[in-house]
Amino acid sequence: MMPDLVRAEGLRVSLPDIARKRPFRRPPLIDILHGVDFRIARGEAVGIVGESGSGKSTLGRALLRLIEPADGQISFDGQDITHAPESALRPLRARMTMIFQNPLAALNPRRTVAASVAAPLIARGETGDLRGKTLRALDRAGLPARFAGRYPHQLSGGQRQRVGIARAIVTEPDFILADEIVSGLDVTTQAQVLDLLRELRRETGLSLAFIAHDLSVVRVLCERVVVMHGGRIVEEGACVDLFANPIHPYTRRLLAAIPLPELDPHWLDPDMEESTA
């Protein structure tokens, strides 16, 4: 087995309960994650699934240290980053990035596509060949150079998501967290984005944590899946095994509630085509 790139042990996250906020008082904290253990190996794609409010996005943001954990430990490439200050995290930010669910909200409307994609390079102090690296990232994300000067409002939803992907890969990261990135796209565009992620993984060997509520998407993209419910991981395992034989009652309900169409077997096993040629 490949060594773990990202690991969380006993992770607990507490956030303000906005529903109980009172004037001039701090809202009470409510536990969102309850002692979660999570790992992802180098080059692995792991799906994180569950209903809204199950803690999927909170887990993802905590892994990237965008949320401060209340308890537990988070490590990246063997380095403990649980309570690391931003000054210590800054050199790692280029190696662990995120693709957001809503690309329109995630992109600065006053910045061109090129400026948005180049922003992570500038943030880490790079000055050489910014244009070349930006255009290469756009090309790898499936956007020609003519899109570099456009603004987010001039793009379709799928094109904006490709800009988000280009921005995430421009620093050549080791780990990408993708948070519900195809949920707002039509079926054709979803397939194109999934194809793109699969190709990027083949080219670079990056690790991918893919947050989704659509199990059929996870089924075609990930080797392993974790199922979250109520801020806990209730089941995890290889996609093939979990889909064929779910054990936890919640996992069974989740699978029963979502239609899983028959898929091209080559989607499930990219090596099948070579082995059957």
For 42, residues 6+ apart whose C-beta sits below 8 A from its C-beta are 2, 3, 4, 5, 174, 205, 207
Region 241-249 average pLDDT: 92
Residue 162 has pLDDT above 90, yes or no: yes
Question: What is the C-alpha to C-alpha distance for residues 134 and 111, in angstroms, rounded to an integer?
Answer: 14
- Does 145 have pLDDT greater than 90? yes
Contacts 24+ apart (CB under 8 A), 14-23: 14/70, 15/58, 15/67
How much is the average pLDDT of 173-181? 94
Structure tokens at 152: 């987010």
- Supply the pLDDT for residue 103: 83
Q: Judge whether 130 and 122 are in contact, CB under 8 Å.
A: yes
The pLDDT, as a whole number, for residue 276 is: 39
Whether the predicted pLDDT of 161 surpasses 70: yes
Which tops the pLDDT comparison, 109 or 127? 109
pLDDT over 50 (residue 268)? no
Report pTM.
Answer: 0.86
Q: Taking 70 as the threshold, does the pLDDT of residue 98 lie above it? A: yes
Taken in order of first residue, the domains within the chain and their CATH numbers are 4-95+173-276 (3.40.50.300), 96-172 (no CATH)
Band (263; pLDDT cuts 50, 70, 90): very low
User: Is pLDDT of 28 > 50?
Assistant: yes
pLDDT of residue 259: 59
- Which of these, 232, 234, 213, 210, lies nearest to 222 by C-alpha position? 210
pLDDT band at 272 (very low <50, low <70, confident <90, very high): very low
- Averaged pLDDT score across all residues of the chain: 88
